[in-house]
Structure 1
Amino acid sequence: MAHILMIESWVGGTARLLPPMIKKLGHEYSFVTRNPSHYGAQEGKDHPVVAGAKNTIVTETNDIDGLCEVLEGIHKREAFDAVLTICDYYITTVTRVAERLELPHPFPKNSTVARRKDQVRKALTQHGLANPGFDVVNSVEEALHAGNDLGYPLVIKPTDLASSAFVRMVHNGDELRESCRAIMEFETNFRDQKRDTACLIEEYMSGEEVSVEAITIDGKTTIIGVTDKSISGTPFFIEDGHMFPAQLDDKLAEEACELAESALEAIGFDNGISHTEIKLTERGPRIVEINPRPAGNYISELIEHVTGKSLVEAFVRLAIGEKPSMIHERNGAGSAAIKFLMPDLGGVVKSISGIETLENNAHVTRWHLDAKVGGHVNEPIDNGCYIGHLVAVDPNGGAARAIAENAAESLKIEVSTSEKEEVNE
């Protein structure tokens, strides 16, 4: 049995799958966080990362040197066997702690490059791989100059954030100026870490978006499969659904996988699970970004429905120094999909109806809804607007997405922008 050190976590998605997987494999973990209230209880139950922990260590996780000193002292008593995180903002922290404590971890040596969208773009260009036109800017003036050079529409994004935060399509200088200022004025991220406020400006890439899931061990990459993605919320980029496997022409799928593998090699990705997002444009596939960790948003669950293999299990095994196999087998399902439930606007929930249709749908394997009548929901501008999700399975073919979308349409959530307006209990 291994004693794993878990440093911070996301709150949703894979964060809820990881704790029970660690226990299922016969291991235990200590959870390290600077702010336990970030993982607040829901419906009277502790968050899984807190509830499943052997113990919770409360200390400053944003000071890497100080954290290493604290954990070094505890390590002498507790004897940790590995260190991991499922939160993007702490991947570099984990690799530093692992080096200091001489522990295995599930990430590549140069995880910082993979985490930085601008460095990925530069590495792709240096290795002769296809890229959209792009520029990295540090002021509004530089942004406007880049916009004129590249031509509109453009996509502007932070170089170091996650969950599509501040990512926006812009059509002119005024929109570019507004978005650039918003990114540059956001000086600390959602975990209170000081950030690089540079902006990445790219040509807008039109086409279907997919992600290639892969595992790399000792520099050798194995492709697990291709997941499709639906995007909504223009001019924002909100992921509102996924399906595995993507229903693609064989040639397109092969091209996407080849590009993903070449891109991983270009950034020196030598170890770990990767989630590479790709646009299938008229000029061929193009990298959107590379994530040096398992796909979020329950994609791992979809893959397991179809292949019988778990990305989360492989992630834990990598963390403790094992070499998991992800060569998959059919598991009875033709496809599996997730549909995220989002409000049409931010405000107060007036009414919810149609829940019984989800409960009675034989193809919906599970569903979850956070929104409650009288509660507040966020404006749909990024992935932080989710108010729930549902997972659907097509046992025989590739229709899981359609099943999930039809099921979601049966759920009606009415939102009012006025908090004074009466709600329907």
Structure 2
Amino acid sequence: MARKALILIEGHTSIGPLYVRAAQRRGLYPITMSTDPTKYDYLAAEGVEAVQVDTNDLDVMKSVYSRLKLTHDIAGLTGFSGDESVYVAVGKLCRHFGLPGPDPASIEQCHDKFVQRQVLEHASIPIPEYRVATNATEVESAVTEIGLPVVIKPIGGSGSSGVHMCRTVEEVAEHTRHLLGGRHMWQAPPRILVEEFAQGQYFTTDMMGGRVVGIGTGDFGPPPHFVYREYSFPAQLSDDENARIADASLSCLCALGLGWGPAKIEFRWTKRGPVVIEVNPRLAGTPDPELIQLAYGVDLVDEHIKLVIGEECDLRAQHSHTASARFLAPDRDGMLERIEGAGRAAALPGVAEVKMYVHPNTPIVRKGDYRDLIGHIIAASPTPDQTAALLQQAVDLVSWTITPSPND
């Protein structure tokens, strides 16, 4: 009898292992198709079959899928990667082979942040004022029209890469030079989004199959960058605030055609109420799935796999706790000499995970995005105050030493 397989396009260092284990618990045999499988350490560690294939070539992937189908009973196909084009390819492959999956056209328009904003604006969904620019002169003109401060970011990308808040014209010029001067990696001709800085508390909505699973809140490290500092579920909201964010989230999915599968929507609560910052047509990486499971008892990865293989998902909350993550970020560049206390922090009752992303003797060069983070701690308890105290206790136990580089 052919093994029942789940095809995973590319991988993901944080949630990739979660998908592999969830698939195996369901009796599925995970197979990863990747341009370079060696990028994902967990594939070898978990003994996952990997097929090397150019995932930028849709026809080649169709051929490999057809070959795998001869020897496996393929239950479904999905994928994830830092390269957003993977999500579009997943949708196209699912359509071609008649598998459950997202609409590739909806995914494609969502990944272009300018097109996404045009769609949301047309649907009368509150968003920041915005312009698109291709050169320094157009950026300067956009800033003049919108007014400072502004957020300047590439049209595509994730993880806050290339995203910068500018308070002065000098900062605008400097960041524009950074983006256009060869230091930022573009996958297409450069296009820059210039938008109003929406001042207010940050919220996110995690969704699955067109339904709101949870609304969280978070904050960031010091500007001008947007590097996560802390993240919690559920956000402490009034019934009215909760309803307004949930309604805006559902309106986004309707406008963008994202009713199937996972989505993550980011907001700022401004004087206008909830303003949409970004809609991501995918499951967020760590720590969202872990926090959702701790807070509500809903396994988003497993529920997504259910949809992928044609089953119905069950998003009913099993309990109501508060789960929070604190990200660990260095305050300087240099050589990371030591990390201490992670084991003691992990041993605290209520601490769900202490994970370090780097090891001692690693050079630290901060980029102003997700790559600056060196670890995280997750804690959960029945109440917000208890979780906050527990998380701080765990954070206080972890320390590290960074020595300056010789040239500093």
Shared topology, TM-score over 0.5? yes
- Counterparts of 1:4 and 1:273, CA distance in 2: 17
1:279 counterpart = 2:268 = yes
Q: Report the residue type matching 1:153 in the other structure.
A: P
1:187-208 CA-partner distances (Å, limit 9, x unpaired): 995xxx8335211111001111
Q: Which runs of 5+ in 1 are unaligned?
A: 40-46
Q: Which runs of 5+ in 2 are unaligned?
A: none
Normalised to the residue count of structure 1, the TM-score between the two structures is 0.88
Is the CA contact 2:103–2:257 (under 8 Å) kept in the aligned structure 1? no
Q: How far did 1:19 drift?
A: 1.0
Could you tell me which of 322, 344, 349 is aligned with 2:336?
349
- Which residue in 1 is equivalent to 2:22? 21
Matches within 5 A, 1:383-422: 383-397=370-384, 399-419=386-406
Matches within 5 A, 1:124-139: 124-139=120-135
Q: Report the residue type matching 2:353 in the other structure.
A: R
1:228-258 CA-partner distances (Å, limit 9, x unpaired): 1121131000112211111122222221111
Secondary structure of 1:261's match? helix
Cα distance, 1:356–1:317 mapped onto 2, change above 3 Å: closer
Could you tell me which of 327, 337, 359 is aligned with 1:372?
359
Q: How far did 1:106 drift?
A: 5.3
Q: Report the residue type matching 2:160 in the other structure.
A: S
1:78-128 CA-partner distances (Å, limit 9, x unpaired): 342311012244100111222233322356651112222212211111111
- Counterparts of 1:386 and 1:318, CA distance in 2: 32
**Which stretch shifts more, 389-398 or 351-360?**
351-360
Cα distance, 1:353–1:51 mapped onto 2, change above 3 Å: closer
- Counterparts of 1:143 and 1:283, CA distance in 2: 26
Secondary structure of 1:241's match? strand
1:306 counterpart = 2:295 = yes
Q: How far did 1:356 drift?
A: 5.2
- Counterparts of 2:347 and 2:22, CA distance in 1: 28
Cα RMSD of the aligned pairs, angstroms, is 2.3
- Which residue in 2 is equivalent to 1:3? 5
Could you tell me which of 55, 70, 82 is aligned with 2:64?
70
- Counterparts of 2:44 and 2:184, CA distance in 1: 25
- Counterparts of 1:148 and 1:59, CA distance in 2: 47
Could you tell me which of 198, 211, 214 is aligned with 1:222?
211
Is the CA contact 2:162–2:184 (under 8 Å) kept in the aligned structure 1? no
Q: How far did 1:317 drift?
A: 0.8
Is the CA contact 1:353–1:411 (under 8 Å) kept in the aligned structure 2? yes
- Counterparts of 1:106 and 1:326, CA distance in 2: 19
Q: How far did 1:55 drift?
A: 1.8
1:358 counterpart = 2:345 = yes
Matches within 5 A, 1:223-302: 223-302=212-291
Q: Report the residue type matching 1:4 in the other structure.
A: L
Normalised to the residue count of structure 2, the TM-score between the two structures is 0.92
- Which residue in 1 is equivalent to 2:35? 34
Q: Report the residue type matching 2:151 in the other structure.
A: V
Q: Report the residue type matching 1:201 in the other structure.
A: V
Cα distance, 1:164–1:259 mapped onto 2, change above 3 Å: same
Is the CA contact 1:136–1:201 (under 8 Å) kept in the aligned structure 2? yes
1:30-76 CA-partner distances (Å, limit 9, x unpaired): 1111112322xxxxxxx334444652101111222333233333333
1:207 counterpart = 2:203 = no
Could you tell me which of 94, 113, 120 is aligned with 1:117?
113
Is the CA contact 2:346–2:352 (under 8 Å) kept in the aligned structure 1? no
Cα distance, 1:260–1:196 mapped onto 2, change above 3 Å: farther
Could you tell me which of 97, 101, 106 is aligned with 1:101?
97
Tell me the percent identity: 23
Is the CA contact 2:43–2:50 (under 8 Å) kept in the aligned structure 1? no
- Counterparts of 1:26 and 1:156, CA distance in 2: 46
Could you tell me which of 328, 334, 343 is aligned with 2:317?
328
Cα distance, 1:15–1:107 mapped onto 2, change above 3 Å: farther
Cα distance, 1:276–1:196 mapped onto 2, change above 3 Å: farther
Q: Report the residue type matching 2:67 in the other structure.
A: G
Cα distance, 1:64–1:173 mapped onto 2, change above 3 Å: farther
Count the aligned residue pairs.
404
- Which residue in 1 is equivalent to 2:75? 81
Q: Report the residue type matching 2:154 in the other structure.
A: P
